[in-house]
Amino acid sequence: MSDTTIEMPQDEKVWGGGSRPLGSPYGKLMMWFFLISDALTFSGFLAAYGMIRFKESLTWPVAEDVFTHFPFLDGNHPLLYVALMTFILIMSSVTMVLAVHAGEHMNKKSVTLWMLLTIVGGLIFVGSQAWEWYHFIIGDKGAIELHDRTIVHVVNADGEAISFSQLVHGMEHGHASNHSDVFSKEEVFNAFKADNTLALQVPGKAGETLSRSEAISELATADVVQGANMQRNEYGHQQFANFFFFITGFHGFHVFSGVVFNFIVFYNIMLGTYERRGHYKMVEKVGLYWHFVDLVWVFVFTFFYLV
């Protein structure tokens, strides 16, 4: 459709065609329709997550105790890594706006550069998410699962959670995180029984602690859990890991698709397709999708890591 629309008088020939009430090209409108439906899909997921979280509010894991790793740093660093991921995604949104802007000025060299940087940002984000998943799946401190499927953590006299590694090898020789070491039921239970200062604690804000005698009798029917999968996870309620995998996975898949779209557009920019077409509207359309992915992450960040 040409951009030189004939201005129609308000009261006549409205139904005769040629008027563009939304003032936007077809492809861009269809992208907006898709994004609205996708926004509602993500809201459905996040609202369902909210419902289960409200239902299990007393024992729901506290995010600061779960996502504590940062590459090349030991110890406890809640929120830092995910803040870095957020920064990367915002940054790649900025390079995308700059690509769209350069496209409006028909500056091929500039669009190519910004588009390339957007793709690099997207790949770093997907890679970061893989790293996050890896640590989530492999586990941190390990936990004990009671016969009624309640997850409990081993805590010392000060009420701080200690890892299986510290429990079995002693506080001096063990690591604060188990990494990939696997511990057997017998090792963990015997070490727990041997030290009278240790207790078992239910995760979550309430942080209920089992009495020593209660804990020892529960161990007869208990099991050890390390890491996370779709059946159970060491962090707490089963649904915690399921929602984490599903929502961040669905978002990650969006980012991955976005990188693929961006790459196809980038390839066409290099070939000069849009230069010949006379406009870079395609960059604007994939740009809308890319910003939407950033928008969803803003909400995932808040509801999984902050609140």
Partner 1 sequence: MSDNNQGTGWIWKVFWILLIITTVEVVLGIIQPEALEVQVLGTRLLNSIFIILTLVKAFYIVSAFMHLGHERKNLKWMVYLPPLILIPYLVFILLTEGVALAG
Could you list the residues that contact partner 1 (CB under 8 A)?
A: 21-24, 29, 32, 35-36, 39-40, 43-44, 47-48, 50-58, 64, 78-80, 83, 86-87, 90-91, 93-94, 96-98, 100-102, 105, 107, 110, 113-114, 284, 287-288, 291-292, 294-295, 298-299, 301-302, 305-307
Question: In terms of CB distance, is 133 or 301 closer to partner 1?
Answer: 301
Q: Tell me how far, at minimum, the Cβ of 130 lies from partner 1, in Å.
A: 22
- The C-alpha atoms of residue 37 and residue 290 are separated, in whole angstroms, by 15
Q: Tell me how far, at minimum, the Cβ of 97 lies from partner 1, in Å.
A: 5
Single out the residue of 32, 20, 41, 18 nearest to residue 284, CA to CA: 32
Single out the residue of 224, 234, 241, 203 nearest to residue 140, CA to CA: 234
Q: Would you give the distance in Å from CA 137 to the centre of its chain?
A: 14
* Identity of the residue numbered 306: L
Q: Tell me how far, at minimum, the Cβ of 210 lies from partner 1, in Å.
A: 22
Q: Tell me how far, at minimum, the Cβ of 203 lies from partner 1, in Å.
A: 16
Distances in whole angstroms, Cα of residue 113 to Cα of each of 108, 110, 117, 238: 9, 5, 6, 44
Q: Tell me how far, at minimum, the Cβ of 172 lies from partner 1, in Å.
A: 28
Question: In terms of CB distance, is 62 or 182 closer to partner 1?
Answer: 62
Question: In terms of CB distance, is 36 or 270 closer to partner 1?
Answer: 36
Question: In terms of CB distance, is 25 or 174 closer to partner 1?
Answer: 25
Question: In terms of CB distance, is 70 or 187 closer to partner 1?
Answer: 70
Q: Tell me how far, at minimum, the Cβ of 197 lies from partner 1, in Å.
A: 27
Collect all residues with Cβ–Cβ distance below 8 Å to 218 and sequence separation of at least 6. 146, 147, 200, 210
Q: Tell me how far, at minimum, the Cβ of 114 lies from partner 1, in Å.
A: 7
Single out the residue of 262, 306, 272, 285 nearest to residue 126, CA to CA: 262
Question: In terms of CB distance, is 49 or 192 closer to partner 1?
Answer: 49
Tokens of 45: 């997921």
Question: In terms of CB distance, is 148 or 186 closer to partner 1?
Answer: 148
Question: In terms of CB distance, is 169 or 246 closer to partner 1?
Answer: 246
Q: Tell me how far, at minimum, the Cβ of 126 lies from partner 1, in Å.
A: 19
| Residue in this structure with the two tokens 């991955």, named with its chain if needed | 256
